[in-house]
Amino acid sequence: CLRGKAGWGENMALVTTVANAFGARWFDEQWQPEFNGPEWTRAATFYVDLLSKYGPPGASSNGFNENLALFNTGKCAMWVDATVAGSFVTDASQSKVADKVGFTFAPQEDTDKGSAWLYSWALAIPSTSKKQDAAKAFTTWATSRDYAKLVAETDGVANVPPGTRESTYSAEYMAAAPFAKVTLESLKQADPASPSAKPVPYVGIQLVTIPEFQAIGTQVGKMFSAALTGQMPVEQMLTAVQQSTTREMKRAGYPK
């Protein structure tokens, strides 16, 4: 149950992880897109073939919730996604396979760089908000130790948000959450400044931290979904991706 849904937030997070593992990168050191290279060809072919042959029906439309339901009902043998799902799939009250779930690092191919699932969920307050003080108070509380303690007392320590702070990984949490050891080791090894085999001009393992990437990633995600549904072969898709990304990056003034 890999991610297949179109759009940056749904499938490109996994596609970039796969690409990193094959030694591919979004841009070379001069900010030129590299989708026409052999690494991306191998990574994209692997991704499309894997989901086409072994993925669930309608994989191109499945996101987090759909894959969670498939996994928890025993219809997915392997699911690559964020650690936040760990408490869901090991909860016997909602998962039929809770006693059969194991956790490990993301697969590797040519390099172990960038194969970690390292993403981020950020909280922001719009400048137009009329309740900025209240919003700040809420976000401060929602990411506090008090909130983590409340979750632990209400829903169990294994359900404490896994990426909030280092102090989460106490002896109690490590014992209660079967996914905690792999998560902690993955966080220690992940290097957003060096996500692939070759040097990159950007920071980010699953995303490129530039403002233009939201639009670029969404467009590329749609093209990958088109290849996944058989609308175009992988090589044609990568050619189109190379052209569209090059155009957008030139418009933004990045290539040197």
7 pLDDT more than 60: no
Under the banding of pLDDT at 50, 70 and 90, the label for residue 6 is very low
Number of domains making up the chain? 2
Reported as a single tens digit per residue, the pLDDT across 212-221 is 998 999 899 9
Among residues 58, 183, 152, 51, the alpha carbon closest in space to that of 69 is found at 58
Residue 147 belongs to domain spanning: 132-181
Tokens of 112: 């172990």
10 pLDDT more than 60: no
Alpha helices in the chain (DSSP H): 13-21, 38-54, 64-72, 86-89, 132-142, 145-155, 171-176, 180-189, 213-228, 234-252
The predicted structure's pLDDT at residue 120: 65
Q: Average pLDDT, stretch 146-171?
A: 88
The predicted structure's pLDDT at residue 2: 55
Name the 3-class secondary structure at 93.
coil
Reported as a single tens digit per residue, the pLDDT across 45-85 is 999 999 889 888 888 778 888 889 999 999 988 888 888 88
Under the banding of pLDDT at 50, 70 and 90, the label for residue 187 is confident
Helix 213-228 to helix 13-21 angle, to the nearest 10 degrees?
Answer: 80
Under the banding of pLDDT at 50, 70 and 90, the label for residue 140 is very high
Same domain for 162 and 241, yes or no, is: no
Residues sharing a CB contact under 8 Å with residue 243, sequence separation 6 or more, in sequence order: none
Same domain for 81 and 114, yes or no, is: yes
Instruction: For residues 230 and 52, give the distance between their C-alpha atoms in angstroms, rounded to a whole number.
Output: 9
Same domain for 22 and 72, yes or no, is: yes
In a domain, 63, yes or no: yes
The predicted structure's pLDDT at residue 13: 81
